[in-house]
Structure 1
Amino acid sequence: MAAEGEVLDASGYIQHHLTNAKMCSVDGSIAFNHACEDAGFWTWHIDSLLFSVGLGALFLWVFYKVGQKATDGVPGKLQCFVEMVVEFVDNIVKDTMHRKDPVIAPLALTIFVWVFLMNVMDLVPVDFIPHAAALMGVPYLKVVPTTDLNITFGLALGVFALMLFYSVKVKGFKGFARELTFTPFNHWSMVPFNFVLETVTLVAKPFSLALRLFGNLYAGELIFILIALTPWWLQWAMSVPWAIFHILVIVLQAFVFMMLTVVYMALAHEDH
């Protein structure tokens, strides 16, 4: 929705919906939105933070409550669903990991459910929440955190940091350094080539994680915005089939992010 009654053309409408609500510090005072254009790195996307943290808290609260009320008798529908998700993720971790680690399964579960919930926000009609926010004086609001590159890179960098941590913990610093310098060609003359190759491969992992999730959800959101520009009688005919198809994308991208995280953790635990 346009801020303060502003009438937007198609290009402006798209740009408006793809703009985050920003907060920054300018000359020692708090500024918002357009005043943050030149603020540089320290600009907060408050809408991405609000929805991502809120959905994360919702996930933790629901799973905690289900765990507290879990029963050996006939379970309720919510308990059945949670147990299915937990068992599904646990089986994937057991099949992928060759070493036992108490952190990896909860990590995989958190990533899968959290990314899924953030992706699900893409199914909310594009004007529904932003229009309500505009009525309360908030001109910009992006409700899908995974269409923000800052969120996807934050998740990917967290996975990358854990991968480095476990690589050093399991293999030792010497073993990790040897892996970077004597793989794939186990000869001292190939150390420079191996190091460049393995370093590029290592650094590419968080980039691929972040950009894959961001690209798929950003494209999906953009298509919903384009559909919203069509006449009202055509919107339902186009948005419903796309939403049904996009459900597959939402689940698949959460699964891929989780699966690659488990694979990277498994590689970090491999001690050759």
Structure 2
Amino acid sequence: MAATGDVLTSQGYISHHLTHLQVGSGFWALNIDSLLVSVVLGILFLWLFHSVATRATSGVPGKLQCAVELLVGFVDGAVKDVFHGKSKLVAPLALTIFVWVFLMNAMDLLPVDLIPYGAQLLGVPYLRVVPSADVNITMSMAFGVFFLIIYFSIKEKGVSGFVKELTLQPLNHWTLIPVNLVLETVSLIAKPISLGLRLFGNMYAGEMIFILIAGLLPWWSQWALNVPWAIFHILIITLQAFIFMILSVVYLSMASEEH
């Protein structure tokens, strides 16, 4: 697939599929494709769950209602096992994270050229459809969790308690405040960085493998590798959504507890 209608080399094909549709340049560039797809998937999640909730019946549930109820029960059970504080925000947040990240990851299962080629016919030269393979998206979500960690810490312990946690832990002596501050700050900042980069790395690698298969193999032989990798990738996209959700809940639980 080429924006100009010319046949691309394998290297050009891969490069084309890894290029974002952007507005702006440098630090201020916005990846429009990642933002658009993530927002559409978020709206899809809200519409689907709201539709099921408004049509829920106490009788024999339909397949969709049953699936949603099982998912809600699963997430609720995981939150109760991990989060030991009291907050009405955490369970809905965990459900949102899991479903939204899963939907973004699941875009990787679509044929590599399906949506980008359709967009190209409409005059859109580049379109990446896996938002979680964009480090800007994953780090944005991770820093959203980071700000919630700060909020929960200050809410439960107060500003003075939060400052004491950074300066008097783990070595409880005033002379070691600089050491504690460095250790706790690094530990605090490492949480969102590891959270976002873990999801990005796994999904980028999965997307790259699909692109390599499509770009390097003849079309008639691609199914031999695509099908087994897609089946295995279903486990990866589900596991990565669960890990992102459960670590977010763990970090919020830690922020809500006293040492």
For the criterion TM > 0.5, the same-fold answer is: yes
Tell me the residue number matched to 1:43. Answer: 29
**Which amino acid in structure 2 is aligned with residue 256 of structure 1?**
I
**2:129 maps to 1:143:** yes
The alpha carbon displacement at 1:120 in A equals: 0.2
5+ residue gaps, structure 1, are 25-38
The alpha carbon displacement at 1:248 in A equals: 0.6
Tell me the residue number matched to 2:172. Answer: 186
Report the more deviating stretch, 182-191 or 234-243: 182-191
Tell me the residue number matched to 1:14. Answer: 14
Q: Deviations over 1:100-139 (max 9, x none)?
A: 2000000000000000000000000101111111111111
**Whole-angstrom distance in 1 between the partners of 2:177 and 2:28:** 39
The alpha carbon displacement at 1:192 in A equals: 1.2
**Whole-angstrom distance in 2 between the partners of 1:50 and 1:160:** 23
Tell me the residue number matched to 2:157. Answer: 171
Q: 1:87 aligns with which of 73, 98, 109?
A: 73
The alpha carbon displacement at 1:233 in A equals: 2.4
**2:257 maps to 1:270:** yes
Please provide the CA RMSD for this pair. 0.9
5 Å matches for 1:62-73? 62-73=48-59
Tell me the residue number matched to 1:248. Answer: 235
The alpha carbon displacement at 1:251 in A equals: 0.2
**Whole-angstrom distance in 2 between the partners of 1:249 and 1:82:** 21
Q: Deviations over 1:30-73 (max 9, x none)?
A: xxxxxxxxx22222211101110000000000000100011111
Report the more deviating stretch, 89-98 or 244-253: 89-98
**Which amino acid in structure 1 is aligned with residue 223 of structure 2?**
W
**Which amino acid in structure 2 is aligned with residue 250 of structure 1?**
I
**Whole-angstrom distance in 2 between the partners of 1:177 and 1:231:** 60
Q: 1:154 aligns with which of 140, 143, 163?
A: 140
The alpha carbon displacement at 1:183 in A equals: 1.2
The alpha carbon displacement at 1:243 in A equals: 0.4
**Whole-angstrom distance in 2 between the partners of 1:154 and 1:6:** 36
**Whole-angstrom distance in 2 between the partners of 1:78 and 1:65:** 10
**Whole-angstrom distance in 1 between the partners of 2:7 and 2:143:** 39
The alpha carbon displacement at 1:216 in A equals: 0.2
**Which amino acid in structure 2 is aligned with residue 106 of structure 1?**
P
Amino-acid identity (%): 64
The alpha carbon displacement at 1:10 in A equals: 1.1
**Whole-angstrom distance in 1 between the partners of 2:183 and 2:247:** 20
The alpha carbon displacement at 1:215 in A equals: 0.3
**Which amino acid in structure 1 is aligned with residue 167 of structure 2?**
T
Structure-1-length-normalised TM-score = 0.93
Tell me the residue number matched to 1:259. Answer: 246
> What SS is found at the alignment partner of 1:5?
coil
> What SS is found at the alignment partner of 1:4?
coil
**Which amino acid in structure 2 is aligned with residue 239 of structure 1?**
N
5+ residue gaps, structure 2, are none
Tell me the residue number matched to 1:2. Answer: 2
The alpha carbon displacement at 1:194 in A equals: 1.0
> What SS is found at the alignment partner of 1:191?
helix
**Which amino acid in structure 2 is aligned with residue 184 of structure 1?**
P
Tell me the residue number matched to 2:100. Answer: 114
